[in-house]
Amino acid sequence: MSVSRRQLLKGAVASAPLFALAACGSKAGQAGGGSAGLSAWALTGGPEQVFKDTFAAWNSANPDHKFTVQYFANDSYKQKIRTSVGSGNGPTLIYSWAGGTLKDYVASKDVVDLTDKIPNLTKRVIPSVLDVGKVDGKVYAVPINNSQPVLFYYNKLLFKQAGVQVPTTFGQLLSAVRTFKAKGILPIALAGQSQWPELMWIEYLVDRIGGPEPFKKVFEQTKGAWSDPAFSKAFEKLKQLIDAGAFGNRFGSVVADNNADAALVYTNKAAMLLQGSWVYTTFTGDAAAWVKQGNLGWFDFPTVEGGVGDKSDVYGNPSNYFSVSAKASKQNQDQAAKFLDTYNLNDKACKELIDMGLVPAVQNIEGQLAASKDKDFLEYTYTMTQNAKSFQLSWDQALSDSQAQTLLTKLSQFFLGQATGAQYIAAMNGTIK
């Protein structure tokens, strides 16, 4: 499930599958099958405008085969898509993170094989990012936007005021937390109500302590895999941060979908934020003047003293993906595949992504990144992913839906002091049958 990012960006084969323009406001699911028209669901925020422009261009050129598109907030989408696809009421184009969810779709024959239907797209995208959308060697999902590594953002103004240097080890991070706490500054913004941002913490700590192997065993559903010492040690480190007041006492009410965590940083209330590269556009969009003043910085997740994980290892999402519903009519399946092959991640879409401060999952873009107004951030994240020894898909996307729900619920309980690391590990071991 782990993907070498050097492989990812240089086109070698990934180790294993990982992991409203709404033309006329369609009803949910109406276009997924039968004789209804083409439909797609995607997420709000991030590259939403790129999707809108791309579908608008297609609709203009194909008036007899228009898409209706609906956009959802992240959390509400995840709930809706699970039930809609399972009941045959999903859209023609199904948005996902690949991983365990895609495997479930393929096993249930909910999506179609695209292998021979996207010859042009296959040449454009990074081969190993495309590989993430394969199951048993066949393409069932294709990348549709940008690579999304998780990294630290920090408030340079607050760091300077507190006399804190960018931490490169866990010990330095813990020391920085205590310094900010003592000065009345929230050390780290965390959107605990959304739960999934909490996952980034345990993912990186496990990796820095034990490398990618412990979670690889989980992904392979090895009995007792969660009992690897890297997991218990990671929970011990996380408990140290929580007890030191790293996240304050109100993180349980902070929501990621409305970017409340990033707002705490750019309003100078919080010093740091661990989030995906997609949040960069929130900073540049919602706090353009603050960013222009040079207040935003970024850095990799620190190493953990005594850990064996490589400091270059990255967590996040290689991309988001579109699959074509098997419940759609043959005509709609063919038109949807044609859209993916000719409009998805074409030159115009890639330019829009780069202009937004995002790195599209396509090949040979170094010159475009160097010419961007967001050159510093884009080249940092591009190099970060290019040089990474391992790029691990987020656990909640890599595992099955049922396991992911337990994963998030139990982790939230841990952050709130309602469960121990040992209880979390026991619960997750219980999900491996």
In this structure, are residues 327 and 179 in contact, taking their beta carbons and an 8 Å threshold? Answer: no
Q: The tokens of 78 are what?
A: 């995840």
**Contact by Cβ (8 Å): 76, 255:** no
For 388, the token pair is 């990474």
Question: CA-CA distance, 131 to 341, in Å (whole number)?
Answer: 16
Predicted pLDDT at 46: 76
338, 264: one domain = no
Please, are residues 124 and 29 in contact by the beta-carbon 8 Å criterion?
Answer: no
- Same domain for 267 and 404, yes or no, is yes
Q: Where a domain ends, among 307, 341, 363?
A: 363
One domain, residues 196 and 323: no
| C-alpha Rg value of the chain to the nearest Å | 21
Instruction: Look at residue 273 in the predicted model and tell me its pLDDT.
Output: 98
| 12: in domain | no
Would 160 be classed as within a structural domain?
yes
Q: Which of 363, 388, 422 is the last residue of a domain?
A: 363
Answer yes or no: is 387 within a domain. Answer: no
Distance of CA 327 to the CA centre of its chain: 27
Residue in 259, 207, 195 with CA at minimum distance from that of residue 415? 195
Q: Which residues pair with 270 in a beta bridge?
A: 186
Residues of the chain with pLDDT under 70: 1-35
Q: Is residue 90 part of a domain?
A: yes
pLDDT at 389: 84
Q: Which domain holds residue 408?
A: 149-316+396-430
Residues 289 and 422 in one domain: yes
Q: What angle do CA 58, 61, 64 make, to 5 degrees?
A: 90
Instruction: Map tokens 């690889």 to a residue.
Output: 216
* Same domain, yes or no: 202 and 344: no
DSSP H helices, 315-400, are: 330-342, 347-355, 366-370, 375-387, 395-398
117 and 264, same domain (yes or no): no
Please state, in angstroms and as integers, the Cα–Cα distance from residue 306 to each residue in 172, 234, 325, 344, following that order.
14, 12, 47, 44
The CA distance from 344 to 338, in Å, is 9
Is the same domain home to 141 and 162?
no
Give me the pLDDT at residue 433, please: 79
pTM exceeds 0.95, yes or no: no
Q: Evaluate whether residue 383 is within a structural domain.
A: no
pLDDT given for residue 36 in this prediction: 75
pLDDT in tens, 49-90: 999 999 999 999 999 999 999 999 887 897 788 789 988 889
Same domain for 281 and 171: yes
Residues 354, 308 within the same domain? no
Q: Please count the structural domains in the chain.
A: 2
The CATH number that applies at residue 50 is 3.40.190.10
| Whether residue 254 sits in one domain with residue 126 | no
Residue 324 in domain: yes
Which candidate, 328, 335, 378, 385, places its Cα nearest to that of 353? 378
Q: 251 and 157, same structural domain?
A: yes
Alpha helices in 211-357 (DSSP H): 213-219, 229-243, 260-266, 280-286, 288-292, 330-342, 347-355
Q: Which helix (H) or strand (E) holds 83?
A: helix 74-86
* Complete DSSP assignment for 161-202: HHTPPPP-BHHHHHHHHHHHHHTT-EEEE--GGGSHHHHHHH
Residue 416: closest CA among 190, 164, 233, 157? 190
How is 106-153 classified by DSSP, letter by letter? HHTT-B---TTT-HHHHHHB-HHHHHTTEETTEE--EE-SB-EEEEEE
The helix/strand/coil state of 354 is helix
At 239, is the secondary structure helix, strand, or coil? helix
Tell me, what's the pLDDT at 13? 30
Let me know if residue 391 belongs to a domain: no
In the prediction, which pLDDT does 12 show?
A: 32
Query: What's the gap between Cα 380 and its chain centre?
Result: 17
Same domain, 171 and 212: yes
d(CA 157, CA 147): 28
**pLDDT for the residue numbered 35:** 47
- Contacts of 54-59 with C-beta under 8 Å, sequence gap 24+, read 54/343, 54/344, 54/346, 54/348, 54/349, 55/21, 55/343, 56/21, 57/343, 57/348, 58/339, 58/343, 59/21, 59/23
At 236 the pLDDT is 98
* Tokens of residue 275, six digits: 């989030």
Give the model confidence (pLDDT) of 223-265 as tens digits: 999 999 999 999 999 999 999 999 999 999 999 988 999 999 9
* Residue 96 forms part of a structural domain: yes
